[in-house]
Amino acid sequence: MLNVVIVATVVLAAALMIWPRVANAPLWHATITPLASIIGSGFLVLGPILDVSYGGYAPLVMAGLCAIAYLFGSAIRFNIAEIETQAARSSLLTGLETTASVVLAFAFVVSVAYYLNLFGAFAVSLTALDDAYHANLLTTAVFVLILFIGVTRGFTALERMEQISVGLKLAIIAGLLAGLVAHFGQVTAQGALEFGPPQVTGWAGVTLMAGLIVTVQGFETSRYLGATYSAPLRIKSMRLAQLISTGIYLLYIGLLTYAFRSDPLSLDETAIIDLMQVVAPILPLLLVVAALSAQFSAAIADTNGSGGLIAEATKGVVSERLAYALLVGTGVVLTWSANIFEIISYASRAFALYYAIQACIAAIRASGRGLSLQGAGFAGLAMMGMAVAIFGTPVE
C-alpha cells in the first residue's frame, strides 16, 4: 500500500511541475537554476552524514547550515540590488569582484566533480558493478557527455536538460518525504523513535559542519543570471529557492534522524539506499533515479556557471567551450585521485571563500551608503566565510 502512496505522490508532484501555470511562470523559471544546484548539492548523502555524526542533534545542525546559507545569500542579494543601481565602483570593488569570479569558477569546477562522483556512485549502487572503479568509469563518461553537449550545443541544450531534471527530482523527493512520513508514523506508534548520541562533538563537530557548506550551496547562481532576469526577479527567486530547499532539508533530516538507528560502519555516499529499503521496496529505485537527476541537473547548472565566469574573468581569452574542457579535465583528475568526502570538503571551502569575498563587497557597499549596522553584519559574515574556508574538514 505504501508503494502506491509513494508512486501517487510522485505522479501528483510531477503533474504540478508540468502544469502550465507553474511551468511557464517567470518566477519558477528564474528559481530553477539555484534550486537545482541547492537540492542537487547532497540532499541524499547529507542525511546519513548528519545522522551518524551528530545523532539526535542532526536537525539542529541542518537548521544551522540553512541559516548560514541564507545569511550568505542576503549578502549576495544586497550586491545584486546594488549592481542594478549602476553605482560607481572603486578599483577595490572591481578587484574583489574579479577575485570572487575566479574563486567561484574554481568552486564550480570542484562541485561538478562532487555532483558527478555522486552520480556515478548511485548509478552503480543497485548493480553487480557496485564498486569505486566502475563508479569512477561512469563518472568519467558523464563528464565527456557534458563536454560534448556543451561544446556542440552550448547553454540552451544544457538548460533544457536541467529543467527536465529538476522537475523529476522534486517529484521523487515528494515521494521520498511521503514514505518517510509514513515510516515515522509507524515507528512513533511503536514507541521506537531513536535519539542517537553524537559521534562528533566540540571543535571537530564545528569544523565538520563547515566542511558541509557545499550541501546547501547553489543560491549564488542567481547573481549571474542578469542577462535573462531582472534584479528584483533574481532576488525574489533566490530567496524562494533557499526557502523551498530549507523546508525540504529540515523535513527530510527530521524524519530520518529519529526513525532510524544510525550505524557509523555503514556510512558511505549511498548509505541512504540501505536505509530506505526498510521503508518501502520501491524507494531505492526511485532514489537512484532522483540521485541521478539531482546530480546531473546540479552539474549542468554549475557547468553553465563556470563557463560564463571563466570567459568573463579572462575577458574572452578563454571561451565558454574551452572552459568546459578545462572543467572536465580537472573533474576527471579529482574523480580518480580523491574520495567523495574529500571532494565535498574541498568544494565547501572554495564556496566559503567566495561567500566571504561577496560579504566583504557587501560590507564595503553598505558602509559607503551609511548603513553602518548592515555593513558590520556583512563584515561578520566575511570573517565567518574565511573561517569556514580555513577550518572546514571532510567526513572521516
300: helix, strand or coil:
helix
Q: How far apart are CA 361 and CA 86, in angstroms?
A: 15
Inter-residue long-range contacts of 334-338, CB under 8 Å, 24+ positions, other chains counted: 334/110, 334/113, 334/117, 335/113, 335/116, 335/117, 335/120, 335/136, 335/139, 335/140, 335/143, 336/136, 336/140
CB 170 within 8 Å of CB 13: yes
pLDDT score for 116 = 87
User: CB within 8 A of 102, min separation 6: which ones?
Assistant: 309, 313
pLDDT score for 141 = 92
Which contiguous run of DSSP H or E holds residue 185? helix 155-189
pLDDT score for 162 = 60
Q: How far apart are CA 19 and CA 282, in angstroms?
A: 26
Q: How far apart are CA 37 and CA 98, in angstroms?
A: 22
Per domain, the residue ranges of the chain are: 2-391
pLDDT score for 294 = 72
Classify residue 209 as exposed, middle or buried by CB count within 10 Å of its CB (0-12, 13-18, 19+). buried
Phi–psi pair at 77, nearest 5 degrees: -65, -40
Q: How far apart are CA 272 and CA 268, in angstroms?
A: 9
What is the CATH T-level fold of the domain 2-391, as seen in this structure? Answer: Amino acid/polyamine transporter I (1.20.1740)
CA distances from 52 to 46, 61, 196, 218 (A): 10, 12, 8, 25
Residue whose grid cell is 524524519: 255
pLDDT score for 275 = 80
**pTM for the whole structure:** 0.86
DSSP letter (8 states) at residue 213: G
User: CB within 8 A of 152, min separation 6: which ones?
Assistant: none
pLDDT score for 161 = 59
Greatest CA separation for the chain: 64
pLDDT score for 322 = 82
Q: Minimal CA–CA distance to 240: which of 351, 21, 248?
A: 248
Q: How far apart are CA 110 and CA 214, in angstroms?
A: 10
Q: How far apart are CA 137 and CA 180, in angstroms?
A: 33
Q: What is the pLDDT along the chain (396 residues), one digit of tens a residue?
A: 788 888 898 889 888 877 888 777 888 888 877 887 788 657 778 888 898 899 899 999 999 999 999 999 999 999 998 876 666 667 888 888 888 888 888 888 888 888 888 888 888 887 888 888 898 999 999 888 888 877 776 655 555 556 666 777 788 888 889 999 998 999 999 888 888 889 888 999 999 898 888 888 888 878 877 777 888 999 999 999 999 999 999 999 999 999 888 776 566 667 777 788 778 888 888 888 877 877 777 777 677 777 777 877 777 777 777 888 888 888 899 989 888 888 888 888 888 999 999 999 999 999 888 788 898 999 999 999 999 899 888 775
Q: Is the dihedral of CA 230, 232, 235, 238 positive or negative?
A: negative
pLDDT score for 380 = 94
pLDDT score for 236 = 94
Please give the radius of gyration of the chain, using alpha carbons only, rounded to the nearest integer: 20
Chain-centre distance for alpha carbon 168: 16
